[in-house]
Amino acid sequence: MSERTSAEPRPNDSAAHVVPFPASSPGPQVSFNRDELRTIFNLYGRMVSDGEWRDYALDFRRDKAVFSIYRRTSEMPLYRVEKDPKLARRQGAYAVVAASGLVLKRGTDLGRVLAVLEKPLRIV
């Protein structure tokens, strides 16, 4: 009765080989905090009400966070507001980049960086 059939597992054989699932993101993503988003959306809301902008997109990567601004959904973004923490001590973490790739303004204060997108006041 000590004979084994081929269907019975042997004590040293494993029925299944467990493979650990790799981590989907090795590090934390960079994102905008609540105050930064409030500052960006205040400007965005004013420009939408003026009819200048119509759509936006948020992109969170491991190295930077990007807020893209569109005139029409099917086009390239007019501007990108980028947050790159690696540049915080050197040039500033925030930058406004035009569609051509030209950096319009870079700095440590988001409000001052976004001022480049504000429409100038007109005398009526």
- Structural domain includes residue 45: yes
E-only strand ranges, the chain:
55-60, 65-70, 79-83, 94-98, 103-107
What pLDDT is stored for residue 5 in this prediction?
Answer: 57
Number of H helices, E strands in the chain: 2, 5
Query: Quick check: is 122 in a domain?
Result: no
Token pair for residue 52? Answer: 């200048």
The string of pLDDT tens digits covering residues 75-109 is 789 999 999 999 888 888 999 999 999 999 999 99
1 located within any domain:
no
Domain extent at residue 55: 34-117
Is residue 15 a part of any domain in this protein?
no
Domain assignment of residue 39, yes or no: yes
* Count: domains in the chain: 1
Q: What is the pLDDT of residues 49-60, one digit of tens each?
A: 988 899 999 999
Each residue's pLDDT tens digit, 10-59: 555 556 777 776 666 566 888 899 999 999 999 999 999 988 899 999 99
Task: Identify whether 87 is part of a domain.
Answer: yes
Is residue 21 situated within a structural domain?
no
